[in-house]
Structure 1
Amino acid sequence: MTGTAAREDAATPDLLDAEPLIARGTTCLRRLGLRAEERVAVLLDNDPTTFGVLAAACLEGIVPVPLPGDLGGPEADEILADAAPVAVVATPERARRLAARHGRRGPRRRTPPPSAGPLLHAVTPDDLRALPPTDPSASWPRTRPMAYTSGTTGRRKGVHVGVHDAAWGEEVVADEHAAFDRRHGDRHLVVSPLYHSGPFRFALVSALLGGRIAVLPRFDAAAWSQALRTLRPTSLFCVPTQLHRLAAGSDDLTEDLASLDLLAHAGAPCPVPLKERVLRAAPDGAVWEFYGATEGQFTTCPPADWTAAPGTVGRARPGRRLVVRRDDGSVAPSGEVGTVWAHVPDHARFSYWRDPARTTAAWDGDAFTVGDLGHLDDAGRLFLAGRPGDLVITGGVNVYPAEVERFLLGVPGVAEAAVFGVPDDDWGQRLVAAVVPWPGAELDAATVRATLARQLGRAKVPKDVLVVAELPRTPTGKVRRAGNALVELWRSGA
C-alpha cells in the first residue's frame, strides 16, 4: 500500500493509505511499553506519520495528548504536569528543549523511574516510516485525543472522554459520518494542524472508513490549491481564514474545489460574501458548516440551511437537541440571546481532566455547554453571539461582538473583522473594530462606520475602526482573543 505516484510538484503531499500509518504508530507505542488508559503527549510536526501515532493511540486505548509545537516552555510544562503522561513523543529538537528545561542530558529511550518524569522519545517522520507494522488491538477507536482548551477560564484544561470498548468507537465514527450525510469519500486532505480536534477527527473518520489521507505540513494557500488540483480530494476540513486566503489567491476557485463532496468549515464566523462565493464555486451540496468545540459537537449546517438563513451555524446535529437558557436556567424563547446547551447521546460525554468542579458546571443531565451565547430562530436554527468574556458593555448597553462582526463582514471590501472592547473613562468600555480588506479593496474608518450606522443601533457602531493587514490568530485560524492581542493592536494604532 503506497501513496500516489503522480505528483506535479515536490510540495504536493502524497495521498496515503492510513492502515500502514496506524500500524507503524502502533509499533512505536508498543515499543515504549504503553498500555491502555495511560497517556502519551505528542509534539510532532504536521505529517502523515503524526496522524498514524495519534490514531494508533486511540485504537489501542492509550490517550494521546497532542500539543502545538510552538507552545512556550512554561505553558507546555504546565500542561505536561497536569496531563501526567507516561511518555512524550516529540521531534528531536522539541525533545532536546524539554530535556534541557528539566535537567536531562538528552531524550530518554528507556522507561525512567517514576520520579524522573515521563519517558522522552525523540522521533522523526523517517524513523516512523522505517518501523515495521503492528496491527492495533482494535478496529475502532477506544478513546479520542485529550486536547487542552482554555474555554472561558483562560487556564487550559484537558477534555477527556475516558477509555471504552471498540463498540463505543464504532458508534462515534458512525455518528460523525452520518452527521455530514456520509460525504467523507475516499480521499481526504488535511490542511490544518493535527493537534487540533477538528482536523484529526475528520481525518480519522475518513481513514477508518477506508479512505486515503494527505497532509499539508503547514498551511499555504498556493500549496493548498496545488494539492486540490493534483490529488482531487473528496473531503476536507478548514477554517474561514483558510478559505479566504484560498479564494483571494485562486485564479479559478471552481477548479480548486471541483472534486469535493464535503468541504466542512467551522472555528470562526464565515463572511457572507466569502460563503456565497464558495457556495457558487463548489459542487452542489458540498459546503457544510458546523458549530462545535473541543468538548463536543452542537450543529451541522448543510448548504440549504445556510442559504435560507445566512449567518446561521445550523440546526441541532442528528441525535442532539439544542436549548438556549437564560441566566436563571429557564428556557429562552426564539430570538432571545442566552447560553447554548446541547442534549447529547451517551457516547458524546466528556469530563475535564482532574477538574470535577468544571465538569459539574458544564453538565446538566445529558446536556452540556461551553458557555457560548446565541439564539435560536423559529425554525431551530442557531445564531451565535460569542462568549460571556467577549461581551462589551458600553454606556450601559450590552453588545455581543459576533453580532457586529456579522454586519461588518457584509460591508463591501471587508474580508475579516474582529470587534472588542477597550477601557474608556466615559463609556466604561469603548467598542473597537479591526478590519482586513479584500485584496485590492480600499477601506476607511468613516465609510465603515457610516455603513454600520444605517444597520445597527448607535451603541453597536464601533467608535474606532482600524484597517489592518491581518488579525492576530491562533495556529488553527481563530482570532486570538485571549490575552491582550486585540487591545495591543488598538493601542499601536495599527
Structure 2
Amino acid sequence: MSPSLYTLIEASFPDDRSRIALEAPDRVHGTAEWSYARLGNAAARYAALFSGLGLAVGDRVALKVEKSPEALAIYLACLRGGFVFLPMNTAYRPDEVDYLVGNAEPGLVICDPSAEESTREIAARHGVRHVLTLDADARGSFIDAAAKVTDALPPAACGANDLAAILYTSGTTGKPKGAMLSHGNLASNGIALRDAWRFTEDDLLLHALPIFHAHGLFVACHCALLSGARMIWLGKFDRDAVLRELPRATAFMGVPTFYTRLLSGDDFNRNLVGHMRLFTSGSAPLLTETFEEFRARTGHAILERYGMTETGMNTSNPYDGERRAGTVGFPLPGTDVRVVSDEGELLGSGEVGGLQVRGSNVFRGYWRMPEKSAEEFTEDGWFRTGDVAMIDADGYVHLVGRAKDLIISGGFNVYPKEIEELVDDMPEVLESAIVGVAHADFGEAGVAVVVLRPNRELDEAALLARLKQKLANYKVPKRAFFVESLPRNTMGKVQKNLLRDTYCDACRS
C-alpha cells in the first residue's frame, strides 16, 4: 500500500521538530508561532477527538471557519485519521451551506461561532451528529473539546486511492459538484510542485491565500509542508501586511488581483523583494501587462501555472528557463496534456481546441454523481477540462478561452448557471443571463442581463440585494441591466458573446 499523504508530510518534517512551521503575525490571541512538533501533535490530538466523537475512516469533516493555524491542523488531522476533509468558502450563505451539508452528509461540521445557530439548524435538518465552533483566534467549543484530549490517534492506513478531500465546485447544472481527491492525487501533485519550484526547508513562504480553496490549501501548504519549510501565515491578503513581511520571505503565491494591488502604489519596488526567489500566480489568467509591469518594477518574472479543483496543477512555466507571459508553461512531471478538436481528433502545435489532461493528479470523479463523472472523461481516460487551449511549437500551453462560460472573479470560480437560476426564480423575472466582463481589480466580474415579466418592476439595487442574501459576495454580479429580450441564435441559444461585447465596459469604472 502506498503511504498516505499524511505519512509523506510527516516524513518531510525537519529532523529538528522544534523548528517553526508557521507564524501568524496578525494573530490577536494565542501563540503566534507553531513548531513542527506542535503542528504534528495537534493533528494527532484532533484526529483522536474526531474518532472519539464516533467518526470512522471515510467520514466527512466539514470546515467553514476563518483561516487559522488550528484550521490547518484540522486538515492534517483528517489526513492522519483517514477522515475526508470538506472545506467551505467562508463567504457561503446558509442556503449554500445547506446544499453542501445535505449532499456530503458529514459526521462533523466545524463553523465560526457567529454561524453556530444557522449551522445547527442545517445540521439537524440533515442528520449531522456534531457541530463545533472555532474562530480565527482559537476560541470556540472545538478548542474546548480538543483541550480535554490527551491521546494521539495513530495514522490510518490510507492508500493512494483512498479519499482525502472533497472540494465543491459549481457547474453548468447550477448545483455544486464535489470533486473527490485522493491521497495519491494530492501527494503526487504536491511532490511535483515542490520539486519543480525548488522548495526546501530554507524557504519562508508568505501565505496570504484562503485555505478553503485548492490554491491556498494544496498548492501553497503542500509545497511548504513537503519540504519542511516555514510559512508566514496571514489571515487574508492585506497589502500593508504583505509589504511588511515580504523583505524576509523567499516565496509568495497569489492570484492576479494580489499583484495588481501590490503594483497600485509606488511603495512596492525591488528593494522590498531582494530576498525573494519565487512569485507564482494562478486561479485566474494573469494579464501580460501585469506580468511586464511586475518584471519592470521588481526584476522578477512571475511564474504562472494552470490547474483546476479536479486536477490540482497541470502545467507550470519553468523555474529555470523562460517564463512566457500569456502562457501557463509545460505539463508538470506525471501529467500529460493534449488539445483535441470537437470531433476528438488530436491537434498539432498552433491549433486551437479542447484541452484534456491525464495523470496521477486527476481526481476520482464527482461525489455521488457517477453519470456526470463519466461524461467528463474520454473513452481512453483523459479528463475534459472544459478549457480551450493551444500548444505552441516550443511546447508552451496557451489558454485561449473557456468552454463553460466560467467567470473567474478575484481568483474564485463563478458559474453563471447557479446565479441565473436564482434570478429566474424571482417573481418579477422572465429570464436572465449572467456574463463575465473585465474588471480592473478582480480580473472579471459578473453582469446580470435581465428580462422582466410584463407589468412587473424590479430595479438593479433590489435584484443585487436579494442575491447577496443567497450567494457569497464574490458570486454576486457587480451590475444588473434590464432589457426587453435576450439575443439568441437560430437554435434559440442565448448569444452570451454579444452580451459580453455590449456590456464590456460596465465594470471598468
CA contact (8 A) 1:371 1:387 kept: yes
Work out the CA distance in 1 between the residues paired with 2:23 and 2:69. Answer: 18
Map residues 251-400 of structure 1 onto 2, 5 A cutoff. Answer: 251-280=267-296, 287-296=302-311, 297-302=313-318, 307=323, 309-345=324-360, 348-364=362-378, 365-390=380-405
Q: Secondary structure at the match of 1:328?
A: coil
Q: State the TM-score, normalized to the length of structure 1.
A: 0.70
CA contact (8 A) 2:182 2:363 kept: no
Distance 1:86 1:8, change over 3 A: closer
Structure 1 residue runs without a partner (length 5+): 105-114, 392-400, 403-417, 421-428, 439-473
Map residues 411-426 of structure 1 onto 2, 5 A cutoff. Answer: none
Work out the CA distance in 1 between the residues paired with 2:435 and 2:58. Answer: 47
Deviations 1:8-36 (A, max 9, x none): 98789945334423431432232132332
Work out the CA distance in 1 between the residues paired with 2:114 and 2:388. Answer: 41
For 1:331, the aligned partner's letter is L
Matched positions, count = 406
Distance 1:300 1:169, change over 3 A: closer
Q: Secondary structure at the match of 2:393?
A: coil
Determine the structure 1 residue equivalent to 2:35: 17
Distance 1:333 1:60, change over 3 A: same
Distance 1:492 1:269, change over 3 A: closer
CA contact (8 A) 1:176 1:205 kept: yes
How far did 1:96 drift? 2.3
CA RMSD of aligned residues (A): 4.1
Distance 1:143 1:29, change over 3 A: same
Determine the structure 2 residue equivalent to 1:210: 228
Map residues 162-241 of structure 1 onto 2, 5 A cutoff. Answer: 162=182, 171-182=188-199, 185-201=202-218, 202-229=220-247, 232-241=248-257
Establish whether residue 81 from structure 1 lines up as the match of residue 102 from structure 2. Answer: yes
CA contact (8 A) 1:372 1:386 kept: yes
Within the candidate set 175, 181, 190, 1:155 is matched to 175
Q: State the TM-score, normalized to the length of structure 2.
A: 0.69
How far did 1:233 drift? 2.3
Distance 1:250 1:51, change over 3 A: farther
How far did 1:321 drift? 2.0
CA contact (8 A) 2:81 2:153 kept: no
Distance 1:58 1:102, change over 3 A: closer
CA contact (8 A) 1:338 1:373 kept: yes
Q: Secondary structure at the match of 1:254?
A: coil
Q: Which has the higher contact order (CA 8 A, sep 6+)?
A: 2
Determine the structure 2 residue equivalent to 1:467: none
Distance 1:384 1:486, change over 3 A: farther
Work out the CA distance in 1 between the residues paired with 2:441 and 2:95. Answer: 36
How far did 1:249 drift? 2.9
Determine the structure 1 residue equivalent to 2:90: 69
Map residues 399-418 of structure 1 onto 2, 5 A cutoff. Answer: none
Map residues 51-62 of structure 1 onto 2, 5 A cutoff. Answer: 51-62=72-83
Determine the structure 2 residue equivalent to 1:116: 127
Work out the CA distance in 2 between the residues paired with 1:266 and 1:186. Answer: 20
Q: Secondary structure at the match of 1:248?
A: coil
Work out the CA distance in 1 between the residues paired with 2:434 and 2:61. Answer: 45
For 1:382, the aligned partner's letter is V
How far did 1:123 drift? 2.9
Q: Which moved more, 1:130-139 or 1:380-389?
A: 130-139
Q: Which moved more, 1:353-362 or 1:125-134?
A: 125-134
CA contact (8 A) 1:23 1:56 kept: no
Determine the structure 1 residue equivalent to 2:265: 249
For 1:236, the aligned partner's letter is F
Q: Which moved more, 1:200-209 or 1:45-54?
A: 200-209
Work out the CA distance in 1 between the residues paired with 2:434 and 2:208. Answer: 37
For 1:315, the aligned partner's letter is F
For 2:205, the aligned partner's letter is H
How far did 1:333 drift? 2.8
Work out the CA distance in 2 between the residues paired with 1:86 and 1:260. Answer: 42
Distance 1:20 1:49, change over 3 A: same
For 2:42, the aligned partner's letter is R
Deviations 1:102-156 (A, max 9, x none): 669xxxxxxxxxx732311123443549745836516999654311111444321
CA contact (8 A) 1:184 1:262 kept: no
For 1:371, the aligned partner's letter is G
For 1:62, the aligned partner's letter is F
How far did 1:234 drift? 2.4
For 2:79, the aligned partner's letter is C
How far did 1:75 drift? 1.0
CA contact (8 A) 1:60 1:136 kept: yes
Work out the CA distance in 2 between the residues paired with 1:437 and 1:31. Answer: 42
What percentage of residue pairs aligned between the two structures are identical? 23
How far did 1:171 drift? 4.3
Work out the CA distance in 1 between the residues paired with 2:171 and 2:285. Answer: 17
CA contact (8 A) 2:22 2:33 kept: no
Q: Which moved more, 1:380-389 or 1:37-46?
A: 380-389
Distance 1:70 1:341, change over 3 A: same
For 1:355, the aligned partner's letter is M
Work out the CA distance in 2 between the residues paired with 1:300 and 1:8. Answer: 30
CA contact (8 A) 2:25 2:32 kept: no
CA contact (8 A) 1:324 1:338 kept: yes
Distance 1:44 1:19, change over 3 A: farther
CA contact (8 A) 2:101 2:123 kept: no
Q: Secondary structure at the match of 2:166?
A: coil
Work out the CA distance in 2 between the residues paired with 1:180 and 1:333. Answer: 28
For 2:440, the aligned partner's letter is V
Establish whether residue 436 from structure 1 lines up as the match of residue 447 from structure 2. Answer: no
Work out the CA distance in 1 between the residues paired with 2:50 and 2:251. Answer: 34
For 1:368, the aligned partner's letter is F
Work out the CA distance in 2 between the residues paired with 1:265 and 1:43. Answer: 25
For 1:196, the aligned partner's letter is H
How far did 1:484 drift? 4.9
Work out the CA distance in 2 between the residues paired with 1:16 and 1:250. Answer: 34
Work out the CA distance in 2 between the residues paired with 1:371 and 1:5. Answer: 36
Determine the structure 2 residue equivalent to 1:395: none
Structure 2 residue runs without a partner (length 5+): 1-17, 409-413, 417-432, 443-467, 483-502
Deviations 1:63-88 (A, max 9, x none): 11000122111111001111111111
Work out the CA distance in 1 between the residues paired with 2:208 and 2:434. Answer: 37
Q: Which moved more, 1:239-248 or 1:152-161?
A: 152-161
